[in-house]
């Protein structure tokens, strides 16, 4: 059977925006995602913790941030949204490990999760189901508004529509995972 072609990254179809720098104490670009950031379920024993993220070099006009995690290689026909948090104030430049928990410990006041593709409003760890290596695109989006004005019950697609129209710049880290 021929190798399945790699899906494009989620931002390759969108208008280009400037980039800035994102770092993490927990994950590295192109490296294996540690078990702490994998799902605890579907046969995996991860801790389901969102990774530590920090960023700098974003545009001066930034008024808020959003953080997303997306698996473009999920065998769904449309990828898989693992995490989407927005309305992070413009003076916040770091999220601690575990900030993606459903109880919002570690998130700044006012920040909101939107539903992931499991239907929960929290970080959903890596769970590549098919034995092939998947990319997990962690992105920080610098936004031109203080609030996206999206309800936590919104789908990732609807939130992404608003997110795209307000993005000034974007930073990414892309670790990988396979069973």
pLDDT band of residue 103 (cuts 50, 70, 90) is confident
The domain containing residue 157 runs over which residues? Answer: 21-90+109-115+137-177
Is 145 part of a structural domain of the chain?
yes
Is 98 part of a structural domain of the chain?
no
Closest CA to 121 of 153, 98, 74: 153
Residue 85: which CATH number? 3.90.280.10
Is 78 part of a structural domain of the chain?
yes
Contact 125, 49 (CB under 8 A): yes
Is 126 part of a structural domain of the chain?
no
- What's the domain count of the chain? 1
The whole-model pTM stands at: 0.92
Q: How is residue 110 annotated by DSSP?
A: T
State how far the Cα of 39 lies from the Cα of 77, in Å rounded to an integer: 21
pLDDT per residue over 119-150, tens digit each? 999 999 999 887 889 999 999 999 999 999 99
State how far the Cα of 23 lies from the Cα of 25, in Å rounded to an integer: 7
pLDDT at position 36: 96
Is 29 part of a structural domain of the chain?
yes
Is 121 part of a structural domain of the chain?
no
pLDDT per residue over 6-57, tens digit each? 665 666 667 789 999 999 999 999 999 999 999 998 888 999 999 999 999 9
State how far the Cα of 169 lies from the Cα of 96, in Å rounded to an integer: 22
Q: Which of left, alpha, beta for 130 (phi over 0: left; psi -120 to 50: alpha)?
A: alpha
Mean pLDDT to the nearest integer, 84-108: 95
Contact 46, 128 (CB under 8 A): no
């Amino acid at each position: 059977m021929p190798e399945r072609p790699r899906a494009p990254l989620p931002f390759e179809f969108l208008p280009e925006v400037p980039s800035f720098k994102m770092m993490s104490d927990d994950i590295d670009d192109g490296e294996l995602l540690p078990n702490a950031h994998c799902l605890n379920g579907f046969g995996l024993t991860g801790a389901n913790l969102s990774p530590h993220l920090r960023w700098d070099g974003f545009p001066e006009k930034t008024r808020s941030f959003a953080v997303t995690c997306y698996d473009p290689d999920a065998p769904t026909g449309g990828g898989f949204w693992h995490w989407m948090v927005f309305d992070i104030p413009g003076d916040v430049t770091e999220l601690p490990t575990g900030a993606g928990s459903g109880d919002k410990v570690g998130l700044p006041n006012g920040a909101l999760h939107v539903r992931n593709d499991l239907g929960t409003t929290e970080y959903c760890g890596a769970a590549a189901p098919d034995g092939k290596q998947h990319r997990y695109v962690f992105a920080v989006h610098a936004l031109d508004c203080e609030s996206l004005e999206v309800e936590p019950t919104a789908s990732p697609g609807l939130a992404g529509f608003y997110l795209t129209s307000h993005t000034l710049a974007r930073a990414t880290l892309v670790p990988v995972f396979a069973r």
